[in-house]
Protein backbone atom coordinates (compact mmCIF):
# COMPACT_ATOMS: atom_id res chain seq x y z
CA UNK A 1 0.00 0.00 0.00
CA UNK A 2 2.80 2.37 0.83
CA UNK A 3 4.47 1.70 -2.51
CA UNK A 4 1.24 2.47 -4.38
CA UNK A 5 0.83 5.76 -2.53
CA UNK A 6 4.40 6.70 -3.29
CA UNK A 7 3.96 5.92 -6.98
CA UNK A 8 0.69 7.81 -7.39
CA UNK A 9 1.43 10.79 -5.16
CA UNK A 10 5.11 11.45 -5.84
CA UNK A 11 4.57 15.11 -5.34
CA UNK A 12 2.47 16.72 -2.64
CA UNK A 13 0.81 18.90 -5.29
CA UNK A 14 -0.52 15.84 -7.10
CA UNK A 15 -2.91 15.23 -4.22
CA UNK A 16 -4.25 18.80 -4.24
CA UNK A 17 -6.71 18.46 -7.18
CA UNK A 18 -8.14 15.29 -5.68
CA UNK A 19 -8.71 16.98 -2.35
CA UNK A 20 -10.24 20.05 -3.96
CA UNK A 21 -12.66 18.23 -6.24
CA UNK A 22 -13.51 15.17 -4.14
CA UNK A 23 -16.32 16.90 -2.18
CA UNK A 24 -17.93 17.96 -5.47
CA UNK A 25 -17.68 14.47 -6.89
CA UNK A 26 -18.94 12.81 -3.72
CA UNK A 27 -22.00 15.05 -3.43
CA UNK A 28 -22.62 15.14 -7.17
CA UNK A 29 -24.84 12.09 -7.29
CA UNK A 30 -27.33 13.10 -9.93
CA UNK A 31 -30.77 11.58 -10.14
CA UNK A 32 -31.66 12.33 -13.74
CA UNK A 33 -30.16 13.57 -16.97
CA UNK A 34 -31.50 17.08 -16.30
CA UNK A 35 -29.69 17.10 -12.93
CA UNK A 36 -26.48 16.09 -14.68
CA UNK A 37 -26.91 18.88 -17.23
CA UNK A 38 -27.57 21.39 -14.45
CA UNK A 39 -24.41 20.25 -12.66
CA UNK A 40 -22.36 20.59 -15.84
CA UNK A 41 -23.83 24.04 -16.54
CA UNK A 42 -23.00 25.08 -12.97
CA UNK A 43 -19.39 23.92 -13.37
CA UNK A 44 -19.20 25.60 -16.78
CA UNK A 45 -20.51 28.88 -15.33
CA UNK A 46 -17.90 28.76 -12.56
CA UNK A 47 -15.16 28.20 -15.14
CA UNK A 48 -16.52 31.09 -17.21
CA UNK A 49 -16.23 33.45 -14.25
CA UNK A 50 -12.57 32.52 -13.86
CA UNK A 51 -11.91 32.84 -17.60
CA UNK A 52 -13.61 36.24 -17.79
CA UNK A 53 -11.45 37.41 -14.89
CA UNK A 54 -8.29 36.17 -16.61
CA UNK A 55 -9.31 37.80 -19.89
CA UNK A 56 -10.00 41.08 -18.13
CA UNK A 57 -6.65 40.98 -16.34
CA UNK A 58 -4.92 40.30 -19.68
CA UNK A 59 -6.75 43.24 -21.28
CA UNK A 60 -5.89 45.57 -18.41
CA UNK A 61 -2.27 44.43 -18.49
CA UNK A 62 -2.15 45.32 -22.20
CA UNK A 63 -3.60 48.75 -21.46
CA UNK A 64 -1.09 49.35 -18.68
CA UNK A 65 1.78 48.15 -20.87
CA UNK A 66 0.73 50.53 -23.65
CA UNK A 67 0.43 53.50 -21.32
CA UNK A 68 3.61 52.86 -19.34
CA UNK A 69 5.79 52.39 -22.44
CA UNK A 70 4.34 55.12 -24.63
CA UNK A 71 7.82 56.16 -25.79
CA UNK A 72 8.85 52.71 -27.09
CA UNK A 73 7.03 51.80 -30.31
CA UNK A 74 7.82 48.06 -30.15
CA UNK A 75 6.49 47.59 -26.60
CA UNK A 76 3.52 49.83 -27.33
CA UNK A 77 2.72 47.67 -30.37
CA UNK A 78 2.82 44.49 -28.26
CA UNK A 79 0.53 46.20 -25.73
CA UNK A 80 -1.94 46.97 -28.51
CA UNK A 81 -1.87 43.33 -29.59
CA UNK A 82 -2.52 42.27 -25.99
CA UNK A 83 -5.49 44.62 -25.82
CA UNK A 84 -6.87 43.25 -29.09
CA UNK A 85 -6.41 39.63 -27.99
CA UNK A 86 -7.98 40.45 -24.61
CA UNK A 87 -11.05 41.95 -26.26
CA UNK A 88 -11.34 38.99 -28.65
CA UNK A 89 -10.95 36.53 -25.75
CA UNK A 90 -13.65 38.28 -23.70
CA UNK A 91 -15.99 38.29 -26.69
CA UNK A 92 -15.46 34.58 -27.37
CA UNK A 93 -15.85 33.64 -23.69
CA UNK A 94 -19.05 35.63 -23.18
CA UNK A 95 -20.58 34.43 -26.45
CA UNK A 96 -19.83 30.78 -25.62
CA UNK A 97 -21.39 31.28 -22.19
CA UNK A 98 -24.47 32.80 -23.79
CA UNK A 99 -24.73 30.03 -26.37
CA UNK A 100 -24.56 27.28 -23.76
CA UNK A 101 -27.19 28.99 -21.61
CA UNK A 102 -29.47 29.47 -24.62
CA UNK A 103 -29.14 25.78 -25.48
CA UNK A 104 -29.86 24.74 -21.90
CA UNK A 105 -32.93 26.99 -21.73
CA UNK A 106 -34.15 25.71 -25.11
CA UNK A 107 -33.76 22.00 -24.52
CA UNK A 108 -34.26 21.72 -20.77
CA UNK A 109 -36.55 24.67 -20.04
CA UNK A 110 -36.59 26.44 -16.74
CA UNK A 111 -34.47 29.32 -15.62
CA UNK A 112 -31.00 29.78 -17.00
CA UNK A 113 -28.36 29.80 -14.24
CA UNK A 114 -26.84 33.23 -13.75
CA UNK A 115 -23.31 34.31 -12.96
- Per residue in 52-99, pLDDT tens? 999 999 999 999 999 999 899 999 999 999 999 999 999 998 898 888
Rounded Cα distance between 70 and 53, Å, is 26
Q: What does the domain layout of the chain look like in residue ranges? A: 40-107
How much is the average pLDDT of 12-38?
A: 64
Q: For residues 67 and 76, is the Cβ–Cβ distance under 8 A?
A: no
pLDDT class for 105, splitting at 50, 70, 90?
confident
Which DSSP symbol is given to 111? P
Q: What is the pLDDT of the chain when averaged over all its residues? A: 78
pTM score of the predicted model: 0.61
Amino acid sequence: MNLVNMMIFKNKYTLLPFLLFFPMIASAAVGSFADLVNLLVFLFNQAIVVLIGLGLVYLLFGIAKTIMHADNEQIRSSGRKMMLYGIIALFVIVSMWGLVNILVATFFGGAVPRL
